[in-house]
């Protein structure tokens, strides 16, 4: 996917996507259990260390859920809490590019469950 096809990751852009999903009757059950709601979102996530262009550094993951401030992903390798990554998030409706920091990472049966907090650039 060309970078030009990716939208900048902003709170406003995520809010539009979440509102569209909610209005279309998609499940928001997980939203009721959090201070900042998150909704189930299946999609591919690409992560890499900012400033690197090396393909071997690319980590592919699957989005589990997403909210205005972050998302949870599932991946095959552990990610160190506090590490900042450049991200590309691909959903059927839209793809975003931006940055996120790892909040937590835990081992699960089929890999690792990772919480990411979005980093929004001040504009």
**What is the full DSSP assignment across 50-113?**
TT---GGG-EEEEEEEEESSEEEEEESS---TT-EEEEEEE-SS-EEEEEEEEEEEEEETTEEE
Contact between 62 and 42 (Cβ < 8 Å): yes
Q: Mean pLDDT score of the chain, rounded to an integer? A: 80
CATH number of 3-119: 2.40.10.220
Indicate the pLDDT class of residue 18, thresholds 50, 70 and 90.
confident
The token duo for 45 is 């996530």
Distance between start and end Cα atoms, the chain: 25
Instruction: Provide the CB-side half-sphere exposure for 30 (13 A, CA).
Output: 13
Query: Could you report the per-residue pLDDT of 40-79, keeping only the tens digit for each?
Result: 677 899 999 876 665 567 899 999 988 888 999 999 999 9
Determine the pLDDT at residue 68.
Answer: 86
């Amino acid at each position: 996917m060309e970078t030009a096809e990716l939208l900048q990751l902003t709170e406003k852009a995520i809010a539009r996507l979440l509102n569209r999903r909610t209005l279309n009757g998609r499940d928001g059950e997980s939203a009721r259990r959090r201070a900042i709601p998150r909704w189930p979102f299946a999609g591919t996530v690409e992560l890499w260390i900012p400033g690197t262009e090396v393909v071997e550094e690319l980590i592919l993951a699957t989005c589990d859920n997403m909210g205005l401030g972050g998302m949870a992903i599932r991946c095959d390798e552990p990610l160190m809490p506090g590490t900042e990554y450049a991200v590309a998030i691909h959903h059927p409706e839209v793809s975003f590019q931006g940055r996120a920091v790892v909040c937590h990472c835990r081992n699960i049966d089929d890999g690792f469950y990772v919480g990411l907090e979005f980093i929004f650039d001040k504009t």
